Amino acid sequence: MGAETEVQINIQNSGTYAIRWQSKTNIPPQMKLAGLREASLQVGAQSSMALVYELTPPRRGRFEFGQVAVRFLSRWNLVWCETRAGEADTVKVYPNMRRAREAELKALGARSLVSSHRKNIMAR
């Protein structure tokens, strides 16, 4: 929550020729996207590639992610074919525990600094 989170979409081409494709991710409208929502890639034959982007959830809760819209050129590069890939999924967002722990450590440090300062004053 409130921190950028990396999202990775893995593309695997197990065919015998390279595929040029375009994708558009279906993210919840409340999420803040760092980067572009659309991507164009060329995946070589018998290889894989990853599409990586970052999202920032605004609050905790459940968010619905849809399928990825994909367009790819036909084998002879004559027409664009459209399909959807992956599965729609629900993601649970929890509070950023790392940020809460850092705030707690800062508070403990400030408290110990104040108490040591008090001890030095009382010792005088």
> The domain 5-93 is classified under which CATH number: 2.60.40.10, 3.40.50.300, 1.10.287.90, 3.90.1150.10?
2.60.40.10
In 3D, which of 20, 21, 51, 19 has the Cα closest to residue 36?
A: 51
What is the SS3 string spanning 34-51? ECCCEEEEEECCCEEEEE
Chain segment 20-70, per-residue pLDDT in tens: 889 888 888 888 888 777 888 899 999 999 888 898 888 889 999 889 899
pTM summary value: 0.63
Predicted local confidence at residue 80, as pLDDT: 92
Q: 7: part of which helix (H) or strand (E)?
A: strand 5-13
**The two three-digit tokens of residue 57, written as one number:** 């959830």
pLDDT over 70 at 103, yes or no: no
pLDDT over 70 at 112, yes or no: no
Partnered with residue 97 across adjacent β-strands are: none
